A and B are shown apart, each in its own frame.
Chain A
Amino acid sequence: MAYSDKLIEHYENPRNVGTLDKGDDTVGTGLVGAPACGDVMRLQIRVNPETQIIEDAKFKTFGCGSAIASSSLATEWIKGKTVEEANALKNTQIVEELNLPPVKIHCSVLAEDAIKSAIADFREKQKKQEDKG
């Protein structure tokens, strides 16, 4: 099974690799893993609390090329989107864009889970803020 050019391109030149400050209240962190293969993925977003727009996104993935490409594409897509829009992103969109082979679909699921879990973390933090204020 040959991998698509887009997949290879994201794998060789991953976008938005890095970390954001976990302690920042406008940063949401999603940490997910695939017990079936041992991959780990961390995806972080920085959200403008006023506009709810994701102003920055970073990831770090230790896993196969498809997992790296999926998370790279995911960060690229969610940047500039609202939290609401990002939360609606489906793994199937990643599968289509990267033309992932069936055995690698779980990598895109991992990326979707990472986005959702980062958003959940951000919302949790905001809620705590409101409760305090």
Chain B
Amino acid sequence: MGLPARYGIDLKELEVRYRELSRVLHPDKHAHKPAGERRISLGKAVEVNEAYRILKDDLARATALLALDGHVVAEGEGAPSDPMFLMEVMELREELSEARSAKDLDRVGALGEKVTAMRRATTAQMATAFDGPEPGGAGREHAELKALVGRLRYYRRFMDEVDVIEEEALG
């Protein structure tokens, strides 16, 4: 996408680059070309879509950067998260489930905002941990980064639940 391999990226710039590339690679623009060239531009368009999907997602972007460094965070794998954090997540989940039973949408919304703020704090930490050291990723603390990715997953789960509750309420 012509963007640096960093965690902190300008989402507006990403959007602009994506639109540009999509336009250039659009099949209609290549309809008159030979089959071989059409296939190549189509393949590139698919790659650009995939890259865009990953880059705009704060969790997928982190996982992809870790993979580039040779660190794969597999399903079910990961260091045990610290107990204080787990306790906090557990309490938040319990509060959310109470708010759901009570049909208290204001509380659901407030909890969602709280977790969104926590998520932002974590992505800010990640930007520092990914981009702070040498450009190109030398000296990154991968264990720390994996732990942060783990946190993001808990927040993601929480927000998924908030979405489900809010959709339910809308009928």
Contacts and interface: CB of A to CB of B under 8 A. Distances in A.
Interface of B: 73-81, 83, 86-87, 89-90, 93-94, 97, 146-147, 149-151, 153-158, 161
Nearest to B150: A35
A53 B81 CA distance: 30
Given A36-B75, A36-B78, A31 B157 contact: no
Contacts of B153: 35-38
Interface string A3-35: 000000000000000000000000000011111
Contacts of B89: 33, 40
Contacts of A105: 76
30 contacts: A32-B80, A32-B86, A33-B86, A34-B76, A35-B78, A35-B80, A35-B81, A35-B147, A35-B154, A36-B74, A36-B76, A36-B78, A36-B150, A37-B75, A37-B76, A37-B153, A38-B153, A38-B155, A38-B156, A40-B86, A40-B89, A40-B93, A42-B90, A62-B90, A62-B93, A62-B97, A62-B161, A63-B157, A106-B76, A109-B76
Interface of A: 31-40, 42, 60, 62-63, 103, 105-106, 109, 113
A52 to B, nearest CB: 25
B78 A31 contact: no
Given A35-B150, A60-B94, 11 more contacts: A31-B86, A31-B87, A31-B90, A35-B78, A35-B81, A35-B147, A37-B75, A38-B153, A60-B90, A62-B93, A113-B80
B90 to A, nearest CB: 5
Contacts of A106: 75-76
A36 B86 contact: no
